[in-house]
Structure 1
């Protein structure tokens, strides 16, 4: 089997995904794509080269294009009698709905992902239809029969991709046009999750991180979060996709290895692996500092789910890469049914209670900061910056969500105590959050 691999913005396929009789898969860029001055690589793990990529690298990347929730995948496997690891066979049926700008199609099939015109390529949802969609997502039921999810999304949250028109109405794309937003709907008994993710995203922006814009709304009496897609550009009434990939793809890891604890030495999402990515960006010094700041911020707000699929890269012309805005920032520790174990270790620390000066120094050393004095200065500045910013927001946070405010205050106290620093008010005086 041979499948065409397409990238939105290029008129012809950029490569071929092939499967042999044993089910092994390979990926090869086309000669035409390699000769283009504006050629883009699919992934850091699949750089521009005429040689085919073998099964392990190919399978890891293309498996990551499918949804993590495997309902659609399971349906296709059952319907056509496919093997669970028949990645080419599964993509033959699901490849048009791959995430991002990539699509995988039967050989010779026309492109299914193209730029969209807002005045022509979108059908607004009726109010009743949108309410039915939200109720279905809230109750974890299949979408209404007449609704086709235009861009199935990875992750475990209930959500659907939509386009927001200039008049504010939500719409479904037609003919392969891109969506512009993601509508996240919390499940029953988790209604506060939308407001908490919104607050965490706002805190991320206020802390100086480029972060996807969010807005809270209520539909059919159900709270929902509308997230503007960072991998879209809207200009002159047209919408186009930007090619990006997550760190799992960049590292050649399957989605199931998105947490460090699931991998093995040399094949896992850890700080050493992150360094290999950041060192290849257009500004490694800035990117390393950003990753340090993000790590401390996430510790303090209780986001223990910063896994490899929640970090991504833009692929830019000239074979350049940089990290994308932040997305999926959520205080997961507020949910007492989840783990407080980090997605990646900080030194030897697996949770905030274990984070001390030694753990943070080891963390910075793993990122490639060789100077002991430099690491000490960077750590002090990053910690002061995060504590000062979040401490200044505690009153506002607690006014809307006392548990969230108490969690951040508790985390600030824990980190300051572990580092031998004075705890500032109001963090010093707020109640303790207990899991």
Structure 2
């Protein structure tokens, strides 16, 4: 028994700093999640996520084991793509071994979750894919970098679509910094312009800014050759005093792994959850954001680009807006990449398609159409007034102007 036990590693899953469950690696990269008895028995318990409730609202407590990856809810807390590979390298872990990645990065995750070793267990040397030296140094490295304090390697910035996204602590709070893209010109300027427009149209947008690359410390050499500016947005899962606000994205809600974020979800699915769990203001805000992103031609509104937030720790609200980018200038075409209600193309976004979504999601039809109408009209007014002053490039401006005319709801509700 003793020899077997030594293969078992336990991580505490903490919510607002209180342990509510454990992730156990039972050996052979199999992991199991369980809630603590205290959390299960607490009638006023803070909500970890909607996916942990059954259809009657009762907490689910039985979970199957997962191999190599952890269950989707926890997998979605980890970075994706190049950033994950880079951080894994910094921590000396194989980027597919998610239990150990959570161990390395668990003190700075999205929302109010932290993941810490249960018995102050030392960092396990056997995960170090052939690397030597002290694991604990590696762990510090990974964490400091995730707080934007480590010199980035150039290779870490070669994300395909948007440049690298890094959390940073700076003046007055916590920010997400998005660097320029190697592949597409002017993404930070595009995102700043679209988010600014969304806020003018009345959507809930966090504080945003466009800052010169030269104002950011510890960036790789040569980033300034890719673009002049970075887009920054205030994190809504951190308060100014450093405390954490709990959030979850819709991949977590639906139990999807990050690589299933387009194909296995739909805008109707998101609407169903917001209609069931949120209030009228959330529903109206959702329809407005959906309409806005159809008009600007954003084909990247996948399940991880919508989140819920827990202002009172128990009940959800739609989290503030993020990741509004017009993708049509870079990837022309009609595909929305995620199903609306029946269709998967911008040219199908009509009052009829929106009505279908509303009826299927149990949203009052008039509420949905009124919200869309208000958005279309406000969008047209602000586009006419502001488009020429916003820092997007002429290519982006003309691509969006041409695209919006192909979205039927524009004419129908003008």
Aligned-partner Cα distance in 2 for 1:404–1:309: 24
Give, in angstroms, the shift of residue 383 of structure 1. Answer: 3.8
Q: Deviations over 1:389-435 (max 9, x none)?
A: 1221234213444334333433342234x786486xxxxxxxxxxxx
Do structure 1's residue 217 and structure 2's residue 217 form an aligned pair?
Answer: no
Range moving further from structure 2, 25-34 or 192-201: 25-34
CA RMSD of aligned residues (A): 3.6
Q: Deviations over 1:350-380 (max 9, x none)?
A: 22123344323322222224xxxx63x4455
Do structure 1's residue 308 and structure 2's residue 300 form an aligned pair?
Answer: no
Q: Tell me the residue number matched to 1:108.
A: 119
Give, in angstroms, the shift of residue 282 of structure 1. Answer: 4.0
Do structure 1's residue 68 and structure 2's residue 80 form an aligned pair?
Answer: yes
Aligned-partner Cα distance in 2 for 1:156–1:204: 19
Whether the 8 Å contact between 2:297 and 2:404 is mirrored in structure 1 is: no
Range moving further from structure 2, 403-412 or 304-313: 403-412
Give, in angstroms, the shift of residue 298 of structure 1. Answer: 0.4
CA distance 1:161–1:408, change in 2 (3 Å): same
Q: Tell me the residue number matched to 1:98.
A: 109
Do structure 1's residue 277 and structure 2's residue 267 form an aligned pair?
Answer: no
Aligned-partner Cα distance in 2 for 1:378–1:403: 35
Query: After superposition, where does 1:395-410 map in structure 2 within 5 Å?
Result: 395=384, 396-400=386-390, 401-410=393-402
Query: After superposition, where does 1:325-336 map in structure 2 within 5 Å?
Result: 325-336=320-331
Aligned-partner Cα distance in 2 for 1:300–1:398: 17
Whether the 8 Å contact between 1:288 and 1:367 is mirrored in structure 2 is: no
CA distance 1:46–1:328, change in 2 (3 Å): same
TM-score (norm 1): 0.71
Q: Deviations over 1:175-197 (max 9, x none)?
A: xxxx6111211034645211111
Q: Tell me the residue number matched to 2:127.
A: none
Do structure 1's residue 394 and structure 2's residue 383 form an aligned pair?
Answer: yes
TM-score (norm 2): 0.74
Q: Tell me the residue number matched to 1:298.
A: 293
Q: Deviations over 1:268-302 (max 9, x none)?
A: 2124432442144241x332332222111101011
Give, in angstroms, the shift of residue 69 of structure 1. Answer: 1.5
Instruction: Select 2:345's aligned residue among 343, 348, 351.
Output: 351
Aligned-partner Cα distance in 2 for 1:90–1:4: 11
Q: Tell me the residue number matched to 1:385.
A: 374
The number of residue pairs the alignment matches comes to 360
Q: Deviations over 1:182-219 (max 9, x none)?
A: 12110346452111111111111112211121111213
Q: Tell me the residue number matched to 2:254.
A: 251
Do structure 1's residue 231 and structure 2's residue 242 form an aligned pair?
Answer: no
Aligned-partner Cα distance in 2 for 1:15–1:60: 16
Q: Tell me the residue number matched to 1:4.
A: 11
Aligned-partner Cα distance in 1 for 2:253–2:411: 37
- Runs of at least 5 residues in structure 1 that lack an aligned partner in the other structure: 111-122, 124-128, 144-152, 167-178, 263-267, 424-435
CA distance 1:391–1:282, change in 2 (3 Å): closer
- Runs of at least 5 residues in structure 2 that lack an aligned partner in the other structure: 1-7, 122-143, 215-223
CA distance 1:82–1:218, change in 2 (3 Å): closer
3-state DSSP of counterpart to 2:50:
coil
Do structure 1's residue 87 and structure 2's residue 90 form an aligned pair?
Answer: no
